[in-house]
């Protein structure tokens, strides 16, 4: 963050430049817009874009867009304003892919929901950019499912899928305890299997990731998003995730 001094006006302005993903945009007044971005070094951040509702800017300010950002404010705690340039668009790329477009909306909504403002998550940011870039490509559902698990991890609600909580085995993991978030094998589950959550093998291995595995994986992460993360935040999960699950069928 730079402090820029204007000696003629005796004003110190705060300013930074970064790259980020557009999470949301809403009109502000007649011509401006307020955007929220997930930036590489400054986390989830909001700011005003002057002229943001113009035809040219509105076409650029679509969810998932990768932007070159310059933020400036009188004081660090102020919302401030952005000037931005488009690096690449993503919404147009998946516009014809209903499921991928729903996943993009869910990811943006979950970031806004789960991440505190102005706190950097460099590993999650890199994973988010990679996941968004791969939407609609072969294997993207597995990438998205693993991204939700990383979101849980980064926000303090990670699961332990490295080995069986009962036997210590590192392979053959089949279930996850809804109480502890730890993985269990068939042998370790014993007579309690019906009470556990299914862990699709493809989530922790290179096994094929079909639509059934995708549903099981999102049911698994969704359980902990709802029962751990949402309960801690005190608000229900965003509707965009439910729409994504509905699109998954």
CA distance linking residue 100 with residue 173, whole number of Å: 28
Tokens of 33: 């817009």
Model pLDDT, residue 139: 94
pTM of the model: 0.91
Sign of CA dihedral 135, 139, 141, 144: negative
- pLDDT value for 8: 44
pLDDT, position 77: 81
Partnered with residue 126 across adjacent β-strands are none
Cα 88 to Cα 67: distance, rounded to the nearest angstrom = 7
Handedness of CA 109, 116, 46, 141 (dihedral sign): negative
What local confidence, expressed as pLDDT, does residue 10 receive?
Answer: 41
Q: By the 8 A CB rule, do 203 and 145 touch?
A: yes
State which H helix or E strand residue 152 sits in: helix 140-154
What lies within 8 Å, CB to CB, of 17 at 6+ separation is 68, 69, 70, 71
Q: Helices in 25-139 by DSSP H: which ranges? A: 55-60, 98-114, 122-134
How far out from the chain centre does Cα 112 lie? 8
- Give the pLDDT confidence score for residue 76 in this predicted structure: 81
Residue 199 to residue 202: CA distance in whole angstroms: 8
pLDDT at 1: 59
pLDDT at 3: 56
* Amino acid 7: pLDDT: 42
> How far apart are the C-alpha atoms of 32 and 3, rounded to whole Å?
25
Helix, strand, or coil (residue 234): coil
Conformation bin of residue 198: beta by default, left when phi > 0, alpha when psi is -120 to 50: beta
State the pLDDT at residue 86: 95
pLDDT for 79 equals: 85
Q: Look up residue 1 and give its two tokens.
A: 């963050």
Tens-binned pLDDT, residue by residue, of the chain (249 aa): 555 454 444 444 689 999 999 999 998 988 999 999 999 999 999 999 998 888 888 889 999 999 999 999 988 888 899 999 999 999 888 888 999 999 999 999 999 999 999 999 999 999 999 999 999 999 999 999 999 999 999 999 999 999 999 999 998 999 999 999 999 999 999 999 999 999 999 999 988 999 999 999 999 999 999 999 999 999 999 999 999 999 998
DSSP string, 62-90: -TT-EEEEEEEESSTTS--EEEEEEEE--
CA atoms within 13 A on the CB side of 61: 26
CB of 23 closer than 8 Å to CB of 39: no
Rounded Cα distance between 217 and 20, Å, is 28
pLDDT at 52: 87
> Where do the domains of the chain lie, and which CATH numbers do they carry?
2-88 (2.40.50.140), 98-161+199-248 (no CATH)
């Amino acid at each position: 963050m730079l402090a820029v001094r204007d000696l003629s006006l005796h004003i110190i302005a705060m300013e930074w430049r970064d790259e980020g993903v557009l999470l949301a945009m809403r009109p502000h007044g007649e011509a401006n817009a307020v955007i929220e971005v997930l930036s590489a070094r400054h986390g989830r951040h909001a700011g005003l874009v002057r002229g943001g509702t113009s035809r040219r800017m509105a076409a650029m300010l679509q969810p998932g867009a990768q932007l070159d950002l310059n933020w400036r404010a009188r004081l660090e705690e102020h919302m401030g304003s952005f000037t931005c340039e488009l690096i690449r668009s993503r919404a147009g790329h998946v516009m014809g892919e209903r499921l991928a477009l729903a996943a993009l909306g869910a990811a943006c909504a979950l970031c806004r929901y789960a991440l505190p403002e102005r706190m950097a998550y460099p590993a999650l940011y890199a994973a988010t950019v990679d996941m968004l870039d791969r939407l609609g490509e072969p294997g993207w559902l597995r990438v998205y499912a693993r991204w939700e698990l990383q979101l849980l991890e980064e926000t303090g609600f990670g699961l332990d899928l490295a080995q069986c909580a009962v036997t210590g085995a590192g392979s053959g993991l089949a279930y996850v305890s809804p109480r502890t978030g730890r993985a269990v094998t068939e042998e370790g589950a014993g007579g309690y299997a019906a009470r556990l959550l299914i862990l699709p093998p493809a989530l922790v291995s290179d096994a094929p990731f079909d639509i059934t595995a995708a549903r099981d994986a999102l049911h698994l992460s969704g359980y902990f998003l709802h029962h751990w993360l949402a309960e801690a935040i005190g608000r229900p999960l965003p509707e965009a995730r439910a729409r994504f699950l509905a699109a998954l069928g």
